[in-house]
C-alpha cells in the first residue's frame, strides 16, 4: 500500500456546506491524510475545528499566505502535496494560482474562477506547473453518469439531437424576499461569488454534465435570467437555449427559487436510436428509453456496466452508494494522477472543464445583458 498523500484543506470549515463532503470523500479510498489547513479566516475557529477533527495544530495556519510560506520551508518529504480549495468562489483563483506556482497539486471547487480571463491565466499556470489539477464537478463521479458517457461514446443513442438538463433548487426563495437576509448570503454578492449566482453555482454543473456525458461541446447559447428584484444584482433563475451543432439543440434550466426543490439536477439526452434519463436525487437508476423496446433500467455494480462505471463502485449491486462516493471517485482519479498511475479519461474533471465552465457562465451573462441574443462560447 503506497503512503497516503498529504492533503491540505483551504476553507471547508465546520461552518461550511461542502467541507464534510471533501473530508469524507478524501478518506473513502484510503489515499489521503489531512495534514494541514486554513479551514476558516478566523484563527480561533480554525484551530477549534482542527482540534475537533484531529488535524495537527502545528500545520493549521492563520491564513493562506502563511500556509504557503510555512509549508515551503518544510522538506518535500513532509510538505503537503495536494491542496483542496473549498472557499467561496472569489478565492479559488488566487489560491489555486499560488498553489500551482509553488508546485502543489490542486483539487478545486467550481466555479473554477470568477472570470474567463482568470481561468485562462490559471490554465497557463497549470501548464507551467505540470502538477495535477482536478475540478470537483461532483456529479461526474456517479457510476451511472459514467455509464451514460461510455454508452453514448459506444453509440447507444446514435446521433444525438436534443439535450435537456435541469438544475432546480429552492433555498434562495426563503432569502431573496428579505433585504437583510439577502445581504448575508455570499452567493448573492458579486464580490464573493463572481458575475452570476444561479448559473455560476449550479447551471454550470448542468452544462458540465451535458459536455461530460455527450462528448459534444456547446457552441452557442441564448440566456434569459430572472433577478426577481431590480436592486438584486445576481441571477437566481435562468433558462438557456443551447446549440451543439446545426441539428443538435437543447436547453439548460436552472433555478435557486424553484420553490420546494432540493437538489434537482436531471438530464435527458435524446438520440436517433434511444434516450437516456438520469436524476441526481435517485442516482443509482439510469433509464434507457426506446421507441420500440420497453425502457431498460441500468444499475451500478453489475458486470454489464462499463469499466469506468464499475471502477466507481465499491460494493456489490443493491448496496446504494451516493454523493460521498461520487466525490470519492474524483479524489481517487486525482490520487492516481498524482501518483503517476494509469487512470481512465473521465475519472476527474480537469482544467479544460474549468475553462469551458467559465466560458459558459460569461456567455450566459453576456447573452442576457444583450437582451437575450445568441452568444458563442
Ligand atoms: N461541487 C459541488 O457540488 C458543490 C456544492 C456546494 C458548494 N460548492 C462550492 O464550494 C465552495 C464553498 O461553498 P460552501 O457552500 O461550502 O460555502 P460556505 O460558505 O458554506 O463555506 C465556505 C468556507 O470557507 C471558509 N473561508 C472563507 N474565507 C476563507 C479564507 N480566506 N480562508 C480560509 N477559509 C475561508 C469559511 O469559513 C467556510 O468554512 C464554493 O465555491 C461552491 O461553489 C460546490
What φ, ψ does residue 281 adopt, rounded to 5°?
-75, -15
Max CA pair span of the chain: 66
Q: Which three cell numbers stand for residue 151?
A: 454508452
Q: What is the SS3 assignment for 165?
A: strand
Q: Supply the pTM of this predicted model.
A: 0.98
Q: Which of 88, 169, 172 to mutate to test the pocket of ligand 1 (most atoms within 8 A of CB)?
A: 88
- Which residue has the least CA distance to atom 31 on ligand 1? 41
Q: What is the SS3 assignment for 255?
A: strand
List pLDDT tens digits, range 355-371: 999 999 999 999 999 99
Tell me the CA–centroid distance for residue 97 and ligand 1, in Å.
17
- Which residue has the least CA distance to atom 2 on ligand 1? 138
Ligand 1 site, residue 114, Cβ cutoff 6 A = no
Q: Among residues 334, 370, 347, which one has the least CA distance to residue 108? A: 334
Whether the per-residue pLDDT at 209 is higher than 90: the answer is yes
List pLDDT tens digits, range 76-135: 999 999 999 999 999 999 999 999 999 999 999 999 999 999 999 999 999 999 999 999
Q: What is the SS3 assignment for 170?
A: coil
Evaluate the CA torsion angle 138, 139, 143, 149 in order and state its sign: negative
Q: What is the pLDDT of residue 1?
A: 54
Percent of residues in the chain assigned helix, strand, coil, to nearest 5: 40, 20, 40
Residues paired with 289 in a beta bridge: 275
- Which residue has the least CA distance to atom 26 on ligand 1? 11
Amino acid at each position: 500500500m503506497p503512503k497516503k498523500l498529504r492533503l491540505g484543506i483551504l476553507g471547508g470549515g465546520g461552518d461550511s456546506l461542502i467541507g464534510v463532503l471533501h473530508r469524507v470523500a478524501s478518506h473513502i479510498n484510503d489515499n489521503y491524510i489531512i495534514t494541514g489547513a486554513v479551514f476558516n479566516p478566523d484563527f480561533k475557529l480554525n484551530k477549534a475545528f482542527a482540534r475537533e477533527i484531529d488535524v495537527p495544530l502545528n500545520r493549521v495556519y492563520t491564513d493562506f499566505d502563511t500556509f504557503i510560506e510555512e509549508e515551503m520551508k518544510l522538506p518535500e518529504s513532509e510538505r503537503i502535496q495536494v491542496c483542496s480549495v473549498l472557499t467561496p468562489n472569489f478565492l479559488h483563483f488566487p489560491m489555486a494560482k499560488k498553489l500551482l506556482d509553488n508546485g502543489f497539486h490542486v483539487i478545486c471547487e467550481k466555479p473554477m474562477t470568477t472570470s474567463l480571463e482568470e481561468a485562462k491565466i490559471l490554465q497557463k499556470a497549470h501548464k507551467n506547473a505540470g502538477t495535477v489539477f482536478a475540478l470537483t464537478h461532483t456529479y461526474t463521479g456517479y457510476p451511472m453518469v459514467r455509464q451514460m458517457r461510455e454508452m453514448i461514446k459506444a453509440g447507444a443513442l446514435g446521433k444525438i439531437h436534443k439535450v435537456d438538463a435541469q438544475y432546480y433548487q429552492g433555498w434562495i426563495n426563503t432569502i431573496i424576499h428579505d433585504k437583510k437576509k439577502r445581504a448575508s448570503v455570499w452567493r448573492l454578492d458579486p464580490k464573493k461569488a463572481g458575475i452570476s449566482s444561479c448559473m455560476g453555482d449550479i447551471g454550470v454543473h448542468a452544462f458540465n454534465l451535458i459536455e461530460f456525458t455527450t462528448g459534444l461541446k456547446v457552441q452557442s447559447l441564448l440566456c434569459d435570467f430572472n433577478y426577481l428584484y431590480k436592486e438584486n444584482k445576481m441571477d437566481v433563475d435562468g433558462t438557456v437555449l443551447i446549440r451543439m451543432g446545426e441539428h443538435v439543440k437543447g436547453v439548460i434550466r436552472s433555478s435557486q427559487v424553484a420553490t420546494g426543490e432540493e437538489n434537482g439536477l436531471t438530464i435527458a439526452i435524446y438520440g436517433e436510436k434511444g434516450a437516456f434519463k438520469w436524476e441526481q436525487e435517485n442516482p443509482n437508476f439510469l433509464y434507457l428509453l426506446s421507441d420500440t423496446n420497453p425502457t431498460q433500467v441500468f444499475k451500478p455494480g453489475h458486470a454489464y456496466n462499463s469499466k469506468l462505471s464499475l471502477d466507481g463502485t465499491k460494493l456489490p449491486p443493491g448496496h446504494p452508494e451516493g454523493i460521498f462516493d461520487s466525490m470519492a471517485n474524483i479524489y481517487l482519479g486525482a490520487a492516481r494522477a498524482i501518483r503517476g498511475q494509469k487512470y481512465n479519461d473521465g475519472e476527474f474533471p480537469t482544467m479544460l472543464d474549468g475553462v469551458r465552465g467559465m466560458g459558459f457562465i460569461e456567455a450566459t451573462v453576456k447573452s442576457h445583458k444583450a437582451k437575450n441574443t445568441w452568444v458563442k462560447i
